[in-house]
Structure 1
Amino acid sequence: MHLTRFRFNTARIGARRVLSSPQMLHAAVMSSFAEIPQPGEDGARVLWRIDRNSKAETYLYLVSPDKPDLTHLVEQAGWPQTGGWQTFDYGTFLERLTTGQQWAFRLTANPVHTARRNDEEPTKLTAHVGVRHQRDWLLKRQQNAGFKVVEKSPERRLAPQDEHELIVHDRRQLSFKKSGQRQPVTLVTVTYDGRLEITDADAFRRTLVRGLGKAKAYGCGLMTLAEA
């Protein structure tokens, strides 16, 4: 497994054009491989995420079974003479994860649920739009994903719902067209920043290489870690 980071040159028209469309970003990511990687025996797949730390600091993070070549992105949306990308050995890092460790994390996800207005209607995927429901979406999945979001001590809680080391931000509604389809695709995405504790190292490793939630092809599901 590999973890790759690429910085966009947002002053360039090519960068702004690619960043404007999840469909174009998906195509750019998959073009990084001579052959599109197929999910491995452990379910590992290509995952990616855009981090907009500031107007001039926008990064692509990419986790993949195969090593990518981002030359096309550097030429179109980076710094061809002085820029590039960094690829790290992710497998070695994953092997060092153990139950009980605590990490800071970031995850961009597509929090959805199934709903219907009456018993006659078929269920359909519906986006969570409220912060409380978006937060609860992640908390409901943490056990199966092999981690738990760390709880705050009572004296640090600012409100009854402020129980966890978790921030929900950068809430976006994306709309784009896929080739061959008349109706646009609409996605609600949310970024979670927080602190977690690993409760099941094997399950957690699977989460990191398989992704969490829906819309993985469009920049959702990739969780990255940093020292807490």
Structure 2
Amino acid sequence: MHLTRFRVNSARPGARRLLTSHQCLHAAVMSSFPAALPSDKNAPRVLWRLDHHARAEVFLYVVSPTRPDMTHLVEQAGWPSAASNPETPGWQTRPYTPFLERLTEGSCWSFRLTANPIHHIRRKDGEGTKRTAHLTAHHQKQWLLDRQDKSGFRITQKPADQRLLPAGRTHQGHEDHGDRYELVVRDQRSLSFSKGSGGHRNAVRLVTVTFDGHLEVTDPEALRRTLTGGLGKAKAYGCGLMTLAPVR
């Protein structure tokens, strides 16, 4: 496995086109792998995520089973002149497997995850269920908390004397965690685009959010699967990639 970081030159027209179309960006990411054929439904999963640190500081992260060639992305959305220097090719790729193998039970990390928190509802009796996005921070947090054990981690809790908001019950009877967890939800985005071409276009609508927080590893093997296979839906459109960093 490999982890790649690509800095996007947001001043370029090609970059603006990619940043406003997750469908185009997905195609550009997949074009970084010459051996990956669009018709191969059994190809290994490639995960990607955009991190918007500031208007002019946008990074693309990719986790992939093979090393990518992002020359075309540098030409469209990078700094081609700087990339002509072999020491600054325009992206950085590092082997990911050694890091994954060092994960141990009980170790603590900061994490970031962009995801598509959804649930299924039935509007009336006899009707099939419909996939619907969670729109409030409370329900989005609960979506992640419901998946933590199976995914190999546990989101850490703040000491009681550091919590500013009390826990309780919402008007719907669900638990309100207050600020019990080391978890923040930010950068909610509503995406809408067409998938397909010609007369076979389908409208795709997604709500994505970014989670930042701290976690403790409970099952290293399960967490490795989460980090390389993704978490949740809409992985082709920049969701599901969780990355770890040392706790500051």
Q: Which amino acid aligns with 1:152?
A: K
The alpha-carbon distance between structure 1 residues 152 and 225, as it changes in their structure 2 partners (threshold 3 A), is same
Quote the residue 2:226 is aligned against: 207
1:99 and 1:36 mapped to 2: Cα distance?
A: 34
Q: 1:63-118: per-residue Cα shift (whole Å, max 9, x none)?
A: 00011000000001000011400000101110000110000000000000111111
Larger Rg: 2
How far off is 1:183 after superposition? 4.3
1:106 and 1:53 mapped to 2: Cα distance?
A: 13
1:165 aligns with 2:182: yes
Quote the residue 1:63 is aligned against: 63
Quote the residue 1:130 is aligned against: 136
Q: What are the ranges of 5 or more consecutive residues in structure 1 without an aligned counterpart?
A: none
Name the TM-score, length of structure 2 as normaliser: 0.88
Q: Percent identity?
A: 61
Where do residues 126-205 of structure 1 align in structure 2 (5 Å cutoff)? 126-160=132-166, 161-180=178-197, 181-205=200-224
2:146 and 2:24 mapped to 1: Cα distance?
A: 32
Q: What are the ranges of 5 or more consecutive residues in structure 2 without an aligned counterpart?
A: 84-89, 167-177
Residue 29 of structure 1 aligns to a residue in which SS? Answer: helix
Q: Which amino acid aligns with 1:171?
A: Q
Residue 82 of structure 1 aligns to a residue in which SS? Answer: helix
Q: Which amino acid aligns with 1:71?
A: T
Name the TM-score, length of structure 1 as normaliser: 0.96
Where do residues 28-177 of structure 1 align in structure 2 (5 Å cutoff)? 28-36=28-36, 45-83=45-83, 84-160=90-166, 161-177=178-194
Over the aligned positions, Cα root-mean-square deviation in angstroms equals 1.5
User: Is 1:44–1:209's contact at 8 Å kept on the other side of the alignment?
Assistant: no
Aligned pairs, number: 226
User: Is 1:150–1:164's contact at 8 Å kept on the other side of the alignment?
Assistant: yes
